[in-house]
Amino acid sequence: MTAAEKQERPRGGEWSRRGVLSGLLGAPVLLLAACQGGGGKATPGGNGTGSAPAVGGETRSVSPKASVAQITITPADGATAAPFTAPVTVTVQNGTLTSVTVTDGTGKQIAGELAADGASWTSTSKLASGSSYTVAAAAEDKDKRPADANASFSTASPANTFVGYFTPEDGSTVGVGMPVSINFNKAITDRRAVEQAITVVADPPVEIVGHWVDATRLDFRPQQYWAKGTTVTLKLRLKDVAGAKGVYGTQSKNVTFTVGRSQVSVADLKAGTLTVSTDGQVTATYPVIGGSPDHRTWAGKMVISERFQQTRMNSATVGLGSEYDIPDVPHAQRLTTSGTFIHGNYWSPASQFGNANTSHGCIALQDVQGGGNPNTAGARFFASSMVGDVVEVVNSGDRTVNPSNGLNGWNMSWADWKAGSAL
């Protein structure tokens, strides 16, 4: 042994141990060669492929048979304008469905139902317009061999839509006579479908019923005025609801308002007085002027729908030609769509209030020009009022106001009101 060999040789037997380790590392190579046999192929494992003996001791691979189950998804993969009114369907030939999952763009699953024979699945939840969906389906054939299919598609947006303009506003506080009123921008022919998509609930609970005033207006109210302090929620679920052929809603939202104190005023035009009751107690009485014999004031229960510190009143807008044009009527509160207001009046002599009915149909309280005096009857009544308060007119000499003329459905019996529901 040379000096160099002696220098490289490890001490204490390390050399011999290193030699054994090298031999072990080489063993897998020899074993792998032995498994292959004399020139044969290796047998794959864990992938379902088997092997069969062949002449000369070789093995040959056997590919698994593919499943014969064929899955079809509708809408097809890649569709960009699928009808949102049609369900998603998944069918299978030569097999049975084992799972179907449909999710929207937010990950929410769409409910569906599997047929009893397992050959088809149909969504039961409505699709939304202008939305994307993914479908994952699995099946197996009679030999339990699996098959799967996936699809992604998006739904079309409707070409024709409608919306409902509602009152009162979200977050508002209103009087006890305020109905929920919805005006649609297009005529509704499927009133049942639209009414079913709108819910009005109250806390504390009370029965609330919808009434179709006409083809473009749907109001809701309870049998009696709301109780003060009631919280009312309007739930609009009109998105993709067909209001008419080919015309679909777009809204899905909640609107909540609160009923304030109870205030109901009675205008007795024979006595010439307006008596205000708040929470069941008379809080004020004012002398008033009502409609003249030629322009009598409507009778009945009327709800304040709009309020103006000052507004212009022109007779031409209500079909009375050029009889008057007052640019600065103070403290005006609308009672009918046709133009009946309860308002301040600075132009009539003080002696007429409580003693003469000379107006063109409105109810007038004494006021000053500009409405700047808070102590006048007009200013005080205006300050005590809110949208939704009720003004009931008696002894006017005219017929009861049409319930559709303003928010005045309280002039209809409960039975007649409920008869106007489409449900």
Domain of 122, CATH number, reads: 2.60.40.3780
Q: Which of 231, 260, 289 is the last residue of a domain?
A: 260
Distances (CA, A) of 71 to 100, 102, 141, 180, 327: 11, 15, 11, 49, 74
3-state secondary structure of 204: coil
Can you give the CATH number for the domain in which 247 is found? Answer: 2.60.40.3710
Within this chain, do residues 241 and 306 fall inside the same structural domain, yes or no?
A: no
pLDDT of amino acid 321: 84
Tell me if residue 331 is catalytic.
Answer: no
The answer to whether 166 and 255 are in contact (CB under 8 A) is: yes
In this prediction the pTM is 0.79
Q: Which of 125, 154, 183 is the last residue of a domain?
A: 154
Catalytic residue among 211, 331, 360, 362: 362
**Containing domain of residue 173, as a range?**
160-260
Confidence of residue 269 (pLDDT cuts 50, 70, 90): very high
**Bond from prior residue into 75 cis (ω within 30 degrees of 0):** yes
151's tokens: 């699809």
Confidence of residue 57 (pLDDT cuts 50, 70, 90): low
pLDDT of amino acid 322: 81
pLDDT of amino acid 317: 82
Catalytic residue among 211, 331, 343, 360: 343
Within this chain, do residues 282 and 254 fall inside the same structural domain, yes or no?
A: no
Tell me if residue 35 is catalytic.
Answer: no
Residue with tokens 């808070």: 374
Within this chain, do residues 243 and 343 fall inside the same structural domain, yes or no?
A: no
User: Which residue stretches of 274-323 are H helix?
Assistant: none
Confidence of residue 6 (pLDDT cuts 50, 70, 90): very low
Establish how many alpha carbons lie within 13 A of residue 58's alpha carbon, considering only the half-sphere containing its beta carbon: 8
Q: What mean pLDDT is predicted for residues 331-351?
A: 97
> To which H or E segment does residue 122 belong?
strand 120-123
Q: What mean pLDDT is predicted for residues 229-251?
A: 97
| Cα–Cα distance for residue pair 287/290, rounded to 1 Å | 10
Within this chain, do residues 336 and 249 fall inside the same structural domain, yes or no?
A: no
Within this chain, do residues 272 and 241 fall inside the same structural domain, yes or no?
A: no
Total structural domains within the chain: 3
Closest to 410 (Cα-Cα) out of 224, 240, 163? 224
353's tokens: 């209030």
User: Mind listing the pLDDT tens digit for each residue in 20-29?
Assistant: 333 333 333 3
Within this chain, do residues 395 and 283 fall inside the same structural domain, yes or no?
A: yes
Within this chain, do residues 246 and 300 fall inside the same structural domain, yes or no?
A: no
348's tokens: 């009539």
The answer to whether 28 and 34 are in contact (CB under 8 A) is: no
